[in-house]
Amino acid sequence: MCKLILHVKQELDDLLNADSAIFSNTRWKVVLSDGFRKSFIALKSPQLKREVLQKLVKLGAGWRPTVKNIDICDTFQLAKVFKVRDFYLIWNIDMEKKERRIFQIIRIWDLLSRKHVARIGQRLENMFSMYTDDYLDHCRRVQTDGKLEVPAIWDVEHDIIRYKDCTIDAQEDHDLMDTSCVMENLKVSESFLLMKFYSLSSGVAKHLLTATDGYEIDIPFELTDEEDVIIRFPQTSFILGRSGTGKTTVLTMKLLQVEQKSLTASRGLNLDEVGLLGACEENTITNDTKEESFVKQVFITVSPKLCSAIKNQICRLKRFVAGDAPDQPSTDMHDIIDDMEQSTEIPDNFCDLPCEHYPLAITYRKFLMMLDGTFQTSFFDIFYGELSSSTERGYSKSRALQTLIELKEVTYEKFAASYWPHFNADLTKKFDASTVFTEIISHIKGGYQASRPSTGKLERPDYVMLSDKRFSSLNSEKRDRIYDIFLDYESMKCSAREFDLSDFVNSLHKCLVSEGYNGDMLDFVYVDEVQDLTMTQIVLLKYVCRNFKEGFHFAGDTAQTIARGVDFRFEDIRSLFYTTFLSETKACNQGNKPGKQCHLSDMFQLTQNFRTHSGILRMAQSIIDLLYFFFPSSVDKLNPETGLVYGEPPVLLETGNDKNAIVNIFGEKKSKHGNLHGFGAEQVILVRDDDTKKQIVDLVGKQALVLTIVECKGLEFQDVLLYNIFSSSPLKNKWRVVYGYMKNKSILSSPEEMSHPDFDRNKHCLLCSELKQLYVAITRTRQRLWICETGDDYCRPMFDFWNKLCLVEVRLLDSSFIEAMKTGSSADDWRRRGTKLFNEGKFEMATMCFEKANDAYREKWARAAGLVATADGVMPKNLELCQASLQKAAEIYESIGMHEKAATCYIKLKDYKRAGMIYTQNCSTSRLEDAGDCFAMTECWSEAAEAYFKAKCYTQCFSMCSKGKLFSLGLQFLQQLWEEAAIDESNIGVLYSPAAYGLIVDSLDAHLRPSNKKLTHGHLGRMAILLLNVVPWGAMLTSRLMQYLDNESEWAIFFQSLDIFVHHSHFDFVEHIQSQHPSGLDGRYSLLLNLKLALESIIKFTLNANWRAEPDYISPMCCVDLIECLGYFASSCFALHGCMFSTESIFVKMIKRRSCSLYFQNCLMSTADRKLEKLSISAGRLIYESARSLLTKRHMIQEWAQKTTSASHILVLMRLVVTLYLVPLNLNVGDCYEATRFLQMHRVFEDLPLEFSQKILGALQIRSPKLGKFRRLFADALEVIGERMLVAGSPRVQATYRGLNAIIFSSWDCTLNQIVHTAKSFFHDDSIESSFLGNVERKSLLPCEMKRVGKKIGDVEFWEKFEAFHINKQGQKDARAIVVFLRSVLSWLTERGPPTKIDVDLLLEVRQVCNNFDKQSDDSAEKRACVTAKELFSTWKDGGNKLKKIISFLRSEKASMEEGEKGGSCCRGCPTAD
């Protein structure tokens, strides 16, 4: 069995190993069809999958089966069948051309059960019948090498024709419909000729074995010869193709090819060999700069949906190239709000963009934002207001800012709703909003010549003259009126403080001219759907990429230009590229050989259509022919598209002028939920406009999808019903102009001549857009197209046109035909269609699809997204509906857990506080900046500051504190940031920013005593702690500080001495070390002395109880902090020649403080000085006596803490006790044993952790008390509260204290860097102090505080949770449920008091387990929700038994409490209860 397992593992490793000889030794190229892929993934047995792949490898190696497995119908002797267990592999020998060689390949069609083989055989038979005899002969050729069959190879000058050409015969018979001899007569979706193929390799094998059922793998598929030529073309290219010809595929594969070559080059190959060098020297990439040799590629498109799809595809293809396993399928739904956040991880600039971001797939809007980010000032600064600083980190604008920008932008929808009704009616007469908006955006503000003048627009004479320079439907009089509308529009827009996209683009042009481009230069730029861009938008690309010879690739189709605001031909782009990209620079010729200059390549045309069949393509071409004839400048002239699949011609439905034709198809009654007799998920009704759509939806209900022509762009369906497209056309009788074309082309015979008007570009100006819309509508179908008109008046010219060309058939709309039209769909079909509609923003129809699929989650999502879209559409004119829609959308989003989307809705509602709360409470940390922006907009300064600080937006945080006069909070943030900067200096610049300085200065003015206008004692303490961190803080701050202090006061002198010390030490520390100049020593002496005097005054004031009358007094935590600092200074001077005792918490805190760290360094680098040592002992005496005095006043400390801080007074006591013991250990002042008796006498130990107290009190039992014995006892006592002793001193210290339970290091070898390194290595946990203090707080509850009768607040709730968890066996298998329960246990115990029946160390371990669970799962809430108890216990040793122990303890506690209630006794563990 072991040998078998090892054998299978070895076979699998060979299949998945890219370096395996299995694939490198194959003689045949094996390509797998998409049908085979689906059948293979559906196999359930992993062993069967491996067997199939092994057989494929054997076929590729030349092995052929000797036994015929099954007979198959094949008169052409090409199809072959090979049995694998109970399945049959269908394949044949085919041919492929590469360069000038043609070679045989193996084409795998499918893997099927026996009953399906015959059908596939028949389909192959039909396809082979389309092949030429010459092609068949080459495929049947057999060549052997021994017992193996090897592929035949031919060197040829000309192609071997594959398909028969029956077109000539068909034309001679005038039967243009009969072309089945060269086409496959099947459904497009089932066509073998349009199927994708994948070349077998280790990468494909890995993806096949790891993909799940129904999951489409993204791996490079085999390309057509036409596509392959374009992809391999090494220079800048212009790719033009109609809908469905694979333009996006070509661009993506081109990008991937360059990425692959770059990866190869980075592994050591010369880049010249792979052709990556650009035309310009500045773009040359060499192996000498491998660290910067990655290629910077950017894929740009206007549509966020297409961008998202391309981004995911590139990512998956890169994973395939890298050999990684494929990702599992995701929901892959993106709504309007997703468009705002799609590229949030990409910075809004092109400066120093890390290589991991490339290749970039971004929308054109994101490109503009990134370009804007390279300039000193942003175009949007004037719109930001209070939030202008929110782009501190250089990343994408926060959600609040994006929403603000969105509300300020004038789109076509806003133009039509808010601007158009307010223009002079005499000017807008006979114009539609779409035409005028297109002229303004595309020509007046969008033509490239518009970007050259400083005004960013065409002047009136230049615009009016366009009527003469371009074949246009607008004469000079109309253009003059449009220009007047434009001027009114600009005035209204300026008054409303709004902008349109052209304003943004033209602003960028001005900045590029004045400042130049300062971002990273790109190597390659790919632009898809380029017809959606204006000329000025395209020209911006020349600034970011100078690789004009090779670096630009444009793809598009001007026949689909129905987007409002854009109007140009593809040829215009090519001309623009020549005149602006090449002619305006000589860069492309620099370094070239004489006579070798850049020239403009021809346009590539993709003619093979992969979406639909020949019948649809010929009808679409007839529309293009009309455009060529009437509007030759509006569309690029291309060769007709070709299709390999024959399909039934489009059908003109005869309704007999029945006005209720749609009712006849779907019945008279609407069905609320649809029925079996309606249209399926792959069928659609297309109408002209929203009004017609509403009428049809009211009639058919949920029985069919209904879309407008504009809405359907980008979608495709199996069947399309065009309904009343001509009846609702604004052209009306002007369609008769088509007869003029028919007459010109001799399509009409003379007796049949129809009366028609002559074509006039002014009268028929709408014909161009009408034809383009008709083209888009026709090309949405993959299989069947029906055209239904309830009136004969307007459609007759086009119907006659198509009939004469034999492009259509006419059918009567009777019951039998209606029944044949309808198809059923499964729930999965409706879900897939709903997802496609959702991603295209068709939310109403998507909601209906998800409802039919019984997918409640997606239905709610689509409904909410539709409400947001409705709100955006009605915002300018119906505020009440807008707000109601957004409110409802927010509620739905929250109900399905989409909190970020809900927050965006609240932002649009201007309920910023609600949005901020959602971001803070329900979203990840990446949304904290958004929360800060929202809180700032509603002036919730405290919440804003907290959110900004957590988001590391420190400038905004300090600004919020200043605006809200939250100076104490701001100083806490500053102090925390300084402590973090001691270890990580990346944010140290923020501490010296104007915002930080302004916060400190403002805090001085806000904390003055009313009596004398001097600083309060509380703020003196806060400033002292802050300035001990800030090094140096500058003379200006010192000057301001002195204004609020008495010049001769102890605190004034202390701040001055601190300023002198840190300034000298910071700037002259190295020189001081080298020269041993005594000024550093003087600085230390003065600093120590004056801190001692300042503290002495505070402690004296405190002990005299004068602090009670102070409105703002120094907190006990701050006071103890300064006492610890004084002790640290005093003991540091003995660290070099003697030893220094501390705790890890104190030492780490002091090392983080720059002044304390500098003091320690100076002590290590200076000679011993008796004067300083004497002063240190004096300071120690002050600490010792002060600590004893304060500890005798425990109740005063409790009152003091309650008045001035939120921290527990127990923490103050604990820190004072630790400091008290450190003085005799360091300075030989006082006696540890005497101090212990003193503390016992004053009952201080009653307030301290029990374990700590027991350890210390053990000293009183020692018969021969010595300092060394107490030192060891004290070190052990610290450990039980989660603390450790630290010892620094001369080298002999390590030997002397080897057995001590402490961290010990030699101070002789310490330098600045070593100290920091030591701190990092010893104290990798940044929360040591807080952890230590937390342990103290939890363990130090007074026994007397436990004397509570009955239940505490929260007991009932806790025991309910306990019982619910205890009986929920399923919940005990869920790690998240366990952690939630454990946290409630910790909270309850913390509030209740120290337990006596459970080990405290176990509770500490529980706390660590909970923290680790959160840290490990911060990146994904969904991931955390899926963790099992077994996985949790794998990281928590013996976790299952420990959990049982905790449950057992709680059951015992509950029983004890219930007994106590009955007997009226105190709680257990209280001394009085014994």
For residues 872 and 841, the answer to whether their CB atoms sit within 8 Å is no
Summarize pLDDT for 54-79 with one digit per residue, the tens.
888 888 888 888 766 666 766 778 88
Please provide the average confidence, as pLDDT, over all residues in the chain. 77
User: 270 pLDDT exceeds 50?
Assistant: no
Cβ burial 713-739 (10 Å sphere, 16+ → b, else e)? bbbbbbbbbbbbbbbbbebeebbbbbb
Question: In this predicted structure, what is the pLDDT of residue 597?
Answer: 52
910-to-866, 877, 914, 991, 1457 alpha-carbon distances in Å: 20, 17, 9, 33, 51
Summarize pLDDT for 77-92 with one digit per residue, the tens.
888 888 888 888 888 8
Structure token digits, residue 908: 């649009």
Percent composition of the chain: helix, strand, coil (DSSP 3-state, to 5): 60, 10, 35
For residues 386 and 932, the answer to whether their CB atoms sit within 8 Å is no
For residues 1227 and 1185, the answer to whether their CB atoms sit within 8 Å is no
Residue 704 DSSP code: S
Residue 1348 — very low, low, confident or very high, per pLDDT cuts 50/70/90? Answer: very low
What DSSP letter does each residue of 1075-1110 carry, written as one string? HT-THHHHHHHHHHHHHHHHHHHHHHHHHTTGGGG-
* Residue among 1114, 1078, 1153, 1081 at smallest CA distance from 1316: 1153
Structure token digits, residue 728: 């609702």
Summarize pLDDT for 160-182 with one digit per residue, the tens.
888 776 444 433 333 333 334 33
Residue 207 — very low, low, confident or very high, per pLDDT cuts 50/70/90? Answer: low
Question: In this predicted structure, what is the pLDDT of residue 1368?
Answer: 64
What DSSP letter does each residue of 897-919 carry, written as one string? T-HHHHHHHHHHTT-HHHHHHHH
Give the residue, 1104 or 792, on which the prediction is more confident.
1104
Single-letter amino acid code for the residue at 1197: I
Summarize pLDDT for 1262-1290 with one digit per residue, the tens.
888 899 999 999 999 999 988 999 998 87
Question: In this predicted structure, what is the pLDDT of residue 1185?
Answer: 95
Question: In this predicted structure, what is the pLDDT of residue 1351?
Answer: 38
For residues 1156 and 1150, the answer to whether their CB atoms sit within 8 Å is yes
Rg (CA), the chain: 40
For residues 645 and 183, the answer to whether their CB atoms sit within 8 Å is yes
Rounded average pLDDT over 1207-1216: 89
Q: Could you tell me the sign of the dihedral formed by the alpha carbons of 990, 993, 997, 998, in that order?
A: negative
Secondary structure of 1320-1377 as H, E, C letters:
HHHCCCCCHHHHHHHHHHHHCCCHHHHCCCCCCCCHHHHHHHHHHHHHCCCHHHEHHH
Rounded average pLDDT over 893-903: 90
Please tell me the distance from the alpha carbon of residue 594 to that of residue 596, in angstroms, as a whole number. 5
The continuous run of DSSP H or E covering 1305 comes out as: strand 1302-1306
User: 323 pLDDT exceeds 60?
Assistant: no
CA trace torsion 244, 250, 255, 257 (10° rounding): 140
User: 119 pLDDT exceeds 50?
Assistant: yes
Q: Could you give the maximum distance between any two Cα atoms of the chain, in Å?
A: 134
Structure token digits, residue 108: 């795998």
669-678, 697-706, 809-818 — which is least confidently predicted? 669-678
Phi, psi dihedral angles at 1440 (to 5 degrees): -60, -45
User: 289 pLDDT exceeds 60?
Assistant: no
User: 1431 pLDDT exceeds 50?
Assistant: yes
Q: Which strands form 717-723's sheet, in the order they lie side by side? A: 705-708, 683-687, 717-723, 781-788, 651-654, 809-812
For residues 916 and 935, the answer to whether their CB atoms sit within 8 Å is yes
Please tell me the distance from the alpha carbon of residue 1306 to that of residue 1296, in angstroms, as a whole number. 12
Neighbours of 888 (CB within 10 A): 17
Summarize pLDDT for 390-410 with one digit per residue, the tens.
444 445 566 667 777 777 888
Please tell me the distance from the alpha carbon of residue 625 to that of residue 665, in angstroms, as a whole number. 33
Single-letter amino acid code for the residue at 268: G
How far from the centroid of its chain's Cα atoms is residue 850's Cα? 26
Single-letter amino acid code for the residue at 920: T
Question: In this predicted structure, what is the pLDDT of residue 177?
Answer: 37
Question: In this predicted structure, what is the pLDDT of residue 1396?
Answer: 57
Residue 1216 — very low, low, confident or very high, per pLDDT cuts 50/70/90? Answer: very high
Name the percent of the chain lying above pLDDT 70. 75
Scanning the structure block, which residue is given the tokens 């790690």?
A: 1375
Question: In this predicted structure, what is the pLDDT of residue 753?
Answer: 62
Question: In this predicted structure, what is the pLDDT of residue 1310?
Answer: 52
What angle in degrees, to the nearest 10, is found between the helix axes of 912-922 and 941-950? 40
For residues 612 and 153, the answer to whether their CB atoms sit within 8 Å is no
For residues 1150 and 1160, the answer to whether their CB atoms sit within 8 Å is yes
Question: In this predicted structure, what is the pLDDT of residue 728?
Answer: 85
For residues 973 and 995, the answer to whether their CB atoms sit within 8 Å is no
Structure token digits, residue 291: 């660290």
Rounded average pLDDT over 768-791: 87
In a 10 Å sphere around its CB, with 0-12 CB exposed, 13-18 middle and 19+ buried, how is residue 834 labelled?
buried
Please tell me the distance from the alpha carbon of residue 1029 to that of residue 492, in angstroms, as a whole number. 54
* Residue among 639, 659, 906, 609 at smallest CA distance from 788: 659
Residue 918 — very low, low, confident or very high, per pLDDT cuts 50/70/90? Answer: very high
Give residue 1039's region: left, alpha or beta (phi > 0; psi -120 to 50). alpha
Please tell me the distance from the alpha carbon of residue 1388 to that of residue 164, in angstroms, as a whole number. 84
Neighbours of 143 (CB within 10 A): 12
SS3 886: helix
* Residue among 202, 257, 190 at smallest CA distance from 227: 257
What DSSP letter does each residue of 118-140 carry, written as one string? HHHHHHHHHHHTTB-HHHHHHHH
Summarize pLDDT for 1355-1386 with one digit per residue, the tens.
777 777 777 776 666 567 777 778 888 888 87
Give the residue, 99 or 1391, on which the prediction is more confident.
99
In a 10 Å sphere around its CB, with 0-12 CB exposed, 13-18 middle and 19+ buried, how is residue 419 labelled?
buried
* Residue among 1164, 1096, 1093 at smallest CA distance from 1131: 1164
Summarize pLDDT for 1115-1169 with one digit per residue, the tens.
899 999 999 999 999 999 888 778 899 999 899 888 878 788 888 888 877 777 8
Summarize pLDDT for 347-380 with one digit per residue, the tens.
888 888 888 788 888 888 889 888 888 888 888 8
User: 138 pLDDT exceeds 80?
Assistant: yes
What DSSP letter does each residue of 521-570 carry, written as one string? PPSEEEESSGGGS-HHHHHTHHHH---TTTSEEEEE-GGG--STT----H
The continuous run of DSSP H or E covering 1289 comes out as: strand 1285-1289
Question: In this predicted structure, what is the pLDDT of residue 365?
Answer: 87
Summarize pLDDT for 1388-1408 with one digit per residue, the tens.
776 665 555 666 667 777 877
For residues 61 and 25, the answer to whether their CB atoms sit within 8 Å is yes
The continuous run of DSSP H or E covering 199 comes out as: strand 197-199
Question: What ranges make up the beta strands (E) of 59-171?
Answer: 79-84, 87-98, 101-112, 143-145, 148-150, 153-155
User: 893 pLDDT exceeds 80?
Assistant: yes
643-647, 769-773, 914-918 — which is least confidently predicted? 643-647
Please tell me the distance from the alpha carbon of residue 681 to that of residue 828, in angstroms, as a whole number. 10
Question: In this predicted structure, what is the pLDDT of residue 721?
Answer: 93
Scanning the structure block, which residue is given the tokens 């800012």?
A: 401
How far from the centroid of its chain's Cα atoms is residue 1456's Cα? 53
Neighbours of 388 (CB within 10 A): 14
Question: In this predicted structure, what is the pLDDT of residue 860?
Answer: 93
Residue 48 — very low, low, confident or very high, per pLDDT cuts 50/70/90? Answer: confident
Please tell me the distance from the alpha carbon of residue 1013 to that of residue 1030, in angstroms, as a whole number. 25
557-to-406, 536, 908 alpha-carbon distances in Å: 28, 19, 36
Question: In this predicted structure, what is the pLDDT of residue 1416?
Answer: 60
SS3 504: helix
